[in-house]
Amino acid sequence: MTGSGMRSTRYRAAEHGGRVEHRIPVDDGVELWAEERGDRATTPLLLVMGANASGLTWPDALVDRLARQHRVVRYDHRDTGRSTRAFAARPYAVRDLATDAVRVLDALGIDRAHVVGMSMGGTLVQLLLLDAPDRLRSATVFCTSTLGTGLAGDSDLPDPAPELLAYWQTMGEERDVEAELAWRVEHWRLLNGDGVPFDPAEFRALEERVIAHSGTPRGPVAHALADRSGLDRGAELAAVRVPTLVVEAPEDPVDPPPHAAHLATAIGSARLATVPGMGHALPAAVVGPLTELIAGHTAAVDAGEDDAAR
């Protein structure tokens, strides 16, 4: 998964008020939308979002705070946001989305980056830790499970909440814009959990932005259908030496405790931290504490690498 053959890939870019947007080819007929903020002279940080979610799901407050110390890149996976809808014609595996992340780095000329993954994004970051560790300065993962457990496999760890599993059965149904917005807001309410207050208006505004960005109200479902083979690799994580932060979300209904602790134990280089009250969502109430954990982790790694280089 080195992607070395893609490093000279040409891509299109346009600047918008301090943000640079890109259209990056990652496969035949497949382009990904990406956006970067921050000083290009600072260390890069790649944000990897979860299944069926646009990169715009990363809160601007989080992106802007991290952009004060990093060149921050977020992007739309295949079949989300402004990226190519590819799955219907050319089905792919979840593991292929990890290769896409490397190709985003290749196209932007980034040799090594801090990488942050949420939910399925955390699964992809684990694959990067195993297959492309030379491309990572550090890793942060949260709201996710160890490779081979949770939604990525079978184990004795707890399953997602039954109410949420039942709700997912209606994913992808035909709905008008208002009904789709209502479905998505209720989905976020279920994901948020009860640890911090849930503001429906906050998440409605988020999904209105995502729909406008995507150009369609049709909810993506490709990642729920993608091949999950090749993910049962949890035992390999013990050899990881990339500095890794695992953030526990104690109210997460998808990957509830002790999923985070299990992952932190599985990864040879990991430390565990907690954002109190956090579920499987990024409301304003948790963005500040989560962002400071990420920023502190990456700053410590960068300081250590600077010291080692002297």
Distance between CA atoms of residues 264 and 247, nearest Å: 9
Helix (H) or strand (E) holding 136: strand 136-142
Catalytic hit among 119, 145, 214, 269: 119
Catalytic hit among 214, 252, 259, 297: 252
Does this model's pTM top 0.85? My answer is: yes
Q: Is residue 213 part of a domain?
A: no
Q: Is residue 202 part of a domain?
A: no
Q: Residue 271 is part of which domain span?
A: 4-159+221-309
What pLDDT is recorded for position 8?
Answer: 36
Catalytic hit among 22, 187, 223, 280: 280
Distance between CA atoms of residues 23 and 26, nearest Å: 10
The answer to whether the beta carbons of residues 238 and 162 sit under 8 Å apart is no
Q: Is residue 146 part of a domain?
A: yes
Helix (H) or strand (E) holding 37: strand 30-37
The answer to whether the beta carbons of residues 262 and 149 sit under 8 Å apart is yes
Q: Is residue 21 part of a domain?
A: yes
114 is catalytic: no
The answer to whether the beta carbons of residues 188 and 138 sit under 8 Å apart is no
Q: Is residue 181 part of a domain?
A: no
What pLDDT is recorded for position 2?
Answer: 41
Q: Is residue 212 part of a domain?
A: no
The answer to whether the beta carbons of residues 148 and 259 sit under 8 Å apart is no
The answer to whether the beta carbons of residues 32 and 132 sit under 8 Å apart is no
What pLDDT is recorded for position 151?
Answer: 61
Counting the structural domains of the chain, the total is 1
What CATH code is carried by the domain that includes residue 66? 3.40.50.1820
CA nearest to 269, candidates 232, 240, 308, 236: 240
Distance between CA atoms of residues 96 and 275, nearest Å: 30
64 is catalytic: no
Q: What are phi and psi of 230, to 5 degrees?
A: 80, 10
Mean pLDDT by 10 residues, the chain (310 residues): 42 66 95 97 98 97 98 98 95 97 98 98 98 98 94 77 96 95 98 98 98 95 95 97 98 97 96 98 98 98 83
Q: Is residue 197 part of a domain?
A: no
Cβ-count burial of 280 within 10 angstroms (0-12 exposed, 13-18 middle, 19+ buried)? buried
Q: Is residue 279 part of a domain?
A: yes
DSSP 206-225: HHHHHHHHHT--PPP-HHHH
119 is catalytic: yes
